[in-house]
Amino acid sequence: MEAMELYRQWLTDFANDPDTVADLKAIENDPKEIEDRFYRELEFGTAGMRGVLGAGTNRLNIYNVRRVTRAMAKYILTTPDGAQRGVAIGYDSRNMSDVFAKQAALVLAASGVKAFLFESLRPVPVLSFTIRHLNCIAGIVITASHNPKQYNGYKAYWTDGGQMPPESVKGITDRLPETTYAESLPMDEQEALDKGLLTYIGKDVDDAYIAAVKKLSVNPELAREMGKTLKIVYTPLHGSGNLPVRRIFREIGMENVYVVPEQELPDGNFPTVKVPNPEDPGAFELALKMQKELGADLCVGTDPDCDRVGIACMTENGPRLLNGNQIGCVLLHYILSQKKERGELPENAAAVTTIVSTNMAAAIAKSYGVKMIEVLTGFKYIAEQIHLFETTGCNTFMFGFEESFGYLSGTDVRDKDGVNACMLIAEAASWYKKMYNKTLVDAIDMLYEQYGYYGDKVTSFVLPGKDGLEKMQTVMKALRENPPKMFAGKKVVALRDYQTGVRTEGDQTEKLTLPKSNVLYFELEDDAWICVRPSGTEPKIKLYVNAVSRSSEETKEILNALSDDAVKTLESI
């Protein structure tokens, strides 16, 4: 059906919904906007679905939330005990998150599937924990993570607490075409409660989650000792981290935690930042100002769903932010060094990171005799490795991270965990202050001295709308058909094409072991590399550049030259 025809059908089908009608009437003279809202259905994949809020098939709204939940319920009803085990549902501070979460719960109830709904907002890792804790068949989180305020999303999880695997996603997508808006209706809330199909959950699960995180403390005695003097500024960036992060700081002994007042309370409009993303230095502006005024050792920020964490440390030249790779390497080194010193490092210890994260992590792991496993981008792949370790006993999971500010050191949660990471960051900061009178900025510099000056640079090309999707496909196709042989004077040693599953080096080819994915990875001379991949959750292509040398200045020069050349290559396409 054409976009304009679908537009008119929505005006008819939802004529009794004044908000939807008003939203659609506002664009009646904007054919481009109508085309963008109706040229496709919002895609449901392994990361769930994410989109701009509004009326339309290509927007996130109660009707699309209801319909995909109804399709999920149909699939769950085909699984043994699925309806009885039920679905755990959480949500963050974004606009409409609470509404979508309740709608999802009541559609499940109407389908005969039990729903366990948090009575207020919670971080993503708490939901992941809850699935396992309550032995649910699945989970849903309403969040768009760190996206701008106009977005929201619907993340789907499966029984192990990790994001939904491909076979379960297929079970839902196969049922979507046959699922109509008309059949995807919610049950009355009181009826659902009376029938035991809706249960509200809260403090008991929170307590169990915090206890599980505290078990991951590497050096609890040190945290209690240094917590009396270490000063921390924290910002939840108007999100769901405020209560659990402050609680974990308090319970491990951090006595001097100061919360940025303007960003403390939940607010889906995120009025103090352009984007609520700890990867963006602008998100730390108020926190850094407060850090400077207090002379705090450490500044910590979490995104709205509290799965990502960013940090800054005070230096002689003012606060300095660390990037995701730097934080990951500092935490990895802290965990491995302390476990080894305490005689707690297992012989089969393993860490997991992604193909677009720094090679420095592998160098650190190797120095401790720890296996480093690389997976595709997305924490679900790290969760898959944890499941593999658990079921086969081949390795013991120590730490997992991705360069986009996501970290995890335990197995009770199967997604990146901002609360877990905040605890480890506070511990690591305590250790460096006590042992060396150094900050975590000094810590990464010490690691560079030991392992080499690894550097990384990420550039994003935002390509929204139908045209953007076509441009992304054009770029990837052109790079495959005519791959560059050199970047900034550095020869391409090998090309990994994760879509075809083949690595090519000269005339030699070998099969890649990771799942198929639309990613191109150029291995360069001198342990440098460039990776190009369309984002799985946003309308953008991401360009990753990494390099290493024996000095900070040389690495910066190499990075800038490689990045400039790669950017020109993509822009020319």
pLDDT per residue as tens digits for the range 225-244: 999 999 999 999 999 999 99
When mean pLDDT is compared across 62-66, 367-371, 468-472, the lowest value belongs to 468-472
Q: Identify the residue whose tokens are 């060396």.
A: 436
73 vs 536, higher pLDDT: 73
3-state secondary structure of 332: helix
pLDDT per residue as tens digits for the range 485-517: 999 999 999 999 999 999 999 999 999 999 999
The answer to whether 95 and 77 are in contact (CB under 8 A) is: no
Q: Could you tell me the pLDDT band of residue 469, with boundaries at 50, 70 and 90?
A: confident
pLDDT per residue as tens digits for the range 452-462: 999 999 999 88
Q: Residues 169-179: what's their mean pLDDT?
A: 96
When mean pLDDT is compared across 144-148, 195-199, 546-550, the lowest value belongs to 144-148
> pLDDT value at position 318?
79
> pLDDT value at position 537?
64
What's the CA gap between 226 and 255, in Å, rounded?
9
The answer to whether 421 and 399 are in contact (CB under 8 A) is: no
> pLDDT value at position 198?
98
What amino acid positions are annotated as catalytic residues?
145
> pLDDT value at position 536?
67
> pLDDT value at position 276?
95
> pLDDT value at position 1?
82
Who's near 310: CB < 8 A, 6+ residues apart?
A: 278, 279, 283, 284, 300, 301, 321, 322, 324, 327, 405
Q: Could you tell me the pLDDT band of residue 465, with boundaries at 50, 70 and 90?
A: confident
What's the CA gap between 543 and 564, in Å, rounded?
11
> pLDDT value at position 373?
98
pTM of the model: 0.95
pLDDT per residue as tens digits for the range 74-84: 999 999 999 99
Who's near 361: CB < 8 A, 6+ residues apart?
A: 325, 328, 329, 332, 351, 353, 372, 401
Q: Residues 128-135: what's their mean pLDDT?
A: 98
